[in-house]
Homo-oligomer: A and B are copies of this chain.
Amino acid sequence: MQTVSTTPLTVVANTIRGLALDAIDACNSGHPGLPLGCAEIFAVLYGRFLNHNPLNPKWAGRDRFILSAGHGSMGLYASLHIAGFEVNLDDLKAFRTLHSITPGHPECRETPGVETTTGPLGQGVATAVGMALAAKHLGARLHSPSAHQVVALAGDGCMMEGICSEASSLAGHLKLDNLILIYDSNDICLDGPTTECFTEDVGARYRAYGWNVTLIDGHNIDQIEQALESARSQTEKPSLIIAKTTIGKGSPTYQGSSEAHGKAFGKEESSATKSALGLPSDALFFVPDEVKTFFSNRIKIQTNRPPESSNHLQNTMSEETLNTIRITEVKPGLATRAISQALLQVIHDHCPSVIGGSADLSCSDSTLMKTGGILSADNYGARNIKYGVREFAMAAASSGLALEGLRPFCGTFLVFSDYMKNAVRLAALMRLPVIYQFTHDSFLLGEDGPTHQPVEHLAALRAMPTLTVFRPADTNETKAAWIAALSANSPTALVLTRQGINDTLTTSIDGALKGGYIVIRESDGPLDYSLIATGSELSLAVGCAAALTAKGHNCRVISLPSFEVFDAQSKEYQNEVLGNAAQTVSIEAQSSFGWHKYIGREGIAISIDRFGLSAPAKDLAQHFGFTVPAILNRLGVS
């Protein structure tokens, strides 16, 4: 075995390289380019800079590290391993295999020391912004300024993504001086040199956002350390460290080329790389003794740190709180967005961990907490966040807030859920209790027209695993939706109307909490029609039932505010609610896509399976057949 005779952090860096190569070769899959290119950065972070406690990875005072360029996961796993987190050699050997704690991209639910789930590019940066904001907010609320840093590592891909721009602009605006973004600038992206697609001056761009910017040699340990320490002491501005690196550094064949990015090198090239790095070329998963010693000494220091005072606000909801929501009085006939806003004022007062904001639509999506103040660099303790017109960053930052123990909500129009979709998905994958308030939920928003009228969006959200979607019909059901959302340990989308609705006398909070229930029960005898509706169409269904009953038909009306919650009930309950009508009809001012699960192949979907139009809601209801006579006509009843 060769002896290693370089300075410790260089050895640490090369150890990370070797571990990454071996793990990637073992499964013949993965991305060596970043682990090799950023090995010195990982070495400085885990070997010197980050304050954390490997034996207590959730220690409140820890510095957070987010690998936004999630494909470099093996760099992170190797670092966690040598730093003493519960990621052992067998875990590294099981990289990318079934049920390992080392999945292809970092997942915070799987691996100790992984702060957030990353992979979809750019989002780690925005989530880091949310985490840095959470630290500022909690520090202000608890009168105990946090001392920890939030450090994100991003590649060229992240820096090209719009969400990263949005989040960085917001971070500059909010003067998040506890945020450090390391940009792994290696001039190579997956498809080739960045000269072919990305030639802007990133440093100048970040200075324009109000950031402090430093340029360093990303393989120079002193420069990395100096830049990080200087960033830690920075005030008033977030810091961007542009680290010039060589992708796949150390590989004789692939370094500096896009070929290093995303495939296993194989035994031969990995051996050659190890040789070139002064590592034993024939040993697999090799950690030199000096690296082990280095980190066992470091752990002793780390685990002796005084705890940062707990950063917790009460974030589980008491029965009393939920009861307060139940008994809140709300004026009848309001839009469900307005009902929600009325409840939000109560929630503000009773749920200290609730914080939220809107993508520049708070006065329209009804998300403002009137006594919550506007969060700013001068007032981090305020509870309304003005995200600006940055939906995607808003959603990913909300995940960051939730990861720090807050209960965030965020709002925009339902149609713009498209802009933030993948961040909602990551929140669902992480099971974070983020609440999305999506208003203006159908063509009945009227004049703004088809660009603003959602059609397929409920289907798109309902199809997403782990996300619970609620489209409440009135005050009772909006209360149920908020109660469910505040009680959940996974994300919830509240889908709300712009227009005023009619309260239905027979709705109930407890019924809605089952996802679906009978609102009007048929008379004895065979059931002619089951009408299933959600949201603003429930009162229309009730109107249809009245008209059908008047004509001698036996009708049931079912409210189905949440498919997911209803599907989670017993099969008996589901069948009992859905019943066995001669004709089952769904009424929802959205695409019919997904409804046949309840209405069957022969069911009739009163829906809109085309884009909307710009006109007053009343005219559109006529035009698209969302009136009692039009529906009776569709049913062949005259």
Q: Which residues of A come within 8 Å of B, CB atoms?
A: 27, 29-30, 70, 96-100, 103-105, 107, 117-122, 156-158, 160-166, 169-170, 172-173, 189-192, 194, 196-205, 207-210, 262, 358, 360-364, 374, 376, 386-390, 392-393, 415-416, 418-419, 421-422, 425-426, 428-429, 446-452, 455-456, 459-460, 462-466, 591, 593-594, 596-601, 609-611, 613-616, 619-620, 623
Contact = CB atoms under 8 A, between A and B. Distances in A.
A360 B157 contact: yes
B107 A450 contact: yes
A173 B190 CA distance: 18
Given A361-B191, A597-B596, A610-B465, A449 B419 contact: no
A615 to B, nearest CB: 4
A200 B204 contact: no
Contact of A204 (B207, B609, B623): B207
A210 B205 contact: no
A235 to B, nearest CB: 17
A165 B361 CA distance: 21
Kindly list the 10 A-B residue pairs having the minimum CB-CB distance in the complex, ordered from nearest: A162-B162, A119-B451, A103-B614, A165-B165, A197-B388, A204-B208, A456-B463, A459-B463, A98-B615, A418-B422
A290 to B, nearest CB: 32
B374 A196 contact: yes
Contacts of A190: 360-361, 363-364
A205 B198 contact: no
Contact of A447 (B29, B361, B460): B29
Contacts of A194: 388
6 contacts: A27-B447, A98-B620, A105-B449, A117-B451, A160-B390, A190-B363
A207 B204 CA distance: 8
Contacts of A173: 197-200
A223 to B, nearest CB: 23
Nearest to A168: B200
Contacts of A601: 596-601
A172 B201 CA distance: 10
A118 B451 contact: yes
